[in-house]
Amino acid sequence: MGGVWERMIGVTRRMLSTTTSKLTHEVLTIFMAEVSAIVNSRPIVPVSTDPENPTVLSPSMILTQKSDVVDTHSSIGDFELKDIYRAQWRHVQHLADQFWKRWKVEFLQQLQSRRKWTVKKRNLQIGDVVLLKDKTVHRNDWPLGRVVNAIPSNDGNVRKAEVRVFKDNKFSTYTRPICEMVLLVSEH
């Protein structure tokens, strides 16, 4: 009856069981706040009416009623040696980064099923909204793009696509293989 969220709870629990063995109460509390921010930043469905810049609804948007995600990496300040909780904070940030890497991989695998290629699937088409797999993105960042050109191979199947992404307050177009994209919403 609740298969989707029960599966996510199972994935989260499995990842937490390997990282929370010897943590103090304070570190565990802060780490769980980071984990909930990571899990709730995942994209659910695009809601933007702007075809050039798709915005995605996430659980954190529903919970906080805010569309902007706080960039945890740019808000990190300089700390002096007299800072008492510096080691604990760095430990939590390290654990949160490890959780993010595993969560991103396992969550994207749930979105993109990989069955045997015996059944023909729909090719990416112009206008589709895709989630880009990018190893360099910061925590809680889910890069979205819109397909502007589908590039078919000799057999007629789309193997690459040009994707338009809004990043750093400007539009960029990238050519990516389809294995590095997850279809969120089809245009047709």
The rounded distance, in Å, linking the Cα atoms of 19 and 97 is: 11
The rounded distance, in Å, linking the Cα atoms of 43 and 56 is: 6
For residues 139 and 72, the answer to whether their CB atoms sit within 8 Å is yes
Choose between 1 and 40: higher pLDDT: 40
Contacts of 104 (CB under 8 A, 6+ apart): none
CA 66 vs. chain centroid, Å, equals 18
Query: How many Cβ atoms are within 10 Å of 20's Cβ, its own excluded?
Result: 15
The rounded distance, in Å, linking the Cα atoms of 173 and 163 is: 5
- Residue ranges per structural domain of the chain: 3-111, 129-185
Q: What's the alpha-carbon Rg for the chain, to the nearest Å?
A: 19
pTM, full prediction: 0.65
Query: How many Cβ atoms are within 10 Å of 13's Cβ, its own excluded?
Result: 9
Element (H, E) at 73: none
Contacts of 187 (CB under 8 A, 6+ apart): 125, 126, 127, 128, 129
Tens digit of pLDDT for each residue in 57-105?
Answer: 788 888 887 766 555 444 455 545 455 556 777 878 888 888 888 888 7
> What pLDDT sits at residue 161?
92
Tens digit of pLDDT for each residue in 13-69?
Answer: 877 777 666 778 888 888 888 888 888 888 877 676 665 666 777 888 888 877 665
Q: What are the DSSP calls for 95-127, one per residue? A: HHHHHHHHHHHHHHHHHS----TTS--PPP-TT
Which single residue is written with the structure tokens 């109460």? 25
> What pLDDT sits at residue 32?
85
Which single residue is written with the structure tokens 């902007």? 68
Phi, psi of 77 (to 5 degrees): -100, 180
Tokens in use for 24?
């103090």
Mean pLDDT of the chain: 76
Choose between 111 and 160: higher pLDDT: 160
